[in-house]
A = this chain, B = another copy of it.
């Protein structure tokens, strides 16, 4: 697999422009005062499907010619990628098959179904998910679109950073969450391609810290028994993602779940924005390491807002 280039990100931006939102950047006097920084929140929770995932999925599916994928696209997903792929496929008149574990949140299943995705239930293990996907691919002839270990997906996710750098000039640091590494890898390519002076910092939940460990060791480490409320960040780092991240990311730090909850509460109560746990992880990094941000111009990606309102973590 070949990493995407800045030119690939710019092509992705052009390709998906009519199909995704140019999300706003929000400021908050109160949260600036709280952190001592100038914080520019990139609102990907206001993206279509409620998460940045729409960018990558749209780029991957729009890039397929009708003859490449006449039978549609398929993936396994317990979360936002499934909905994003369903939306992207519908935009192109293609079917989308989404293998989902039986214990996936009802709100996530509803989202996939609302975009016309065909849901295939399976047992909640990685092996069962991969086996079910293999069957789907064989039976339908659909093309698999991986949620993050894919150059087209990485290029699409990187468009959020391209936008943010135009919306907020002269950032000192750009902060994103890391799970599988699609958003982080895309962000690093965008930032280092346009302005290498800007620090790229990744924040990871303590209970799913394979990116942190891999980055430190310089060698891809497996994700074992992830335990975090940030359900969108439980995936293990992809190989292609790690190749990009180890070269182009400056800093990776971890945050405890308790601080993720605090970050969520601040974003909800002060900014009135519904951000999911995974989406609040980046801001939790500012609360954990305030001295790293004080006096700086900080871009923070709020990556998603899909949360079950009946099961809030407080």
Contacts and interface: CB of A to CB of B under 8 A. Distances in A.
A46 interface: yes
Interface size of A as a range: 10 to 19
B46 A269 contact: no
Contacts of A314: 309-310
B269 A272 contact: no
Contacts of A281: none
Interface string A258-278: 000000010011011111000
Interface in A294-314: 305, 309-310, 312, 314
Contacts of A269: 107, 274, 309
A226 interface: no
A251 B305 CA distance: 35
Contact of A272 (B107, B273, B310, B312): B273
Contacts of A50: 272
B309 A272 contact: no
Contacts of A265: 309
A45 interface: yes
A309 B273 contact: no
A118 to B, nearest CB: 21
Interface of A: 24, 45-46, 50, 107, 265, 268-269, 271-275, 305, 309-310, 312, 314
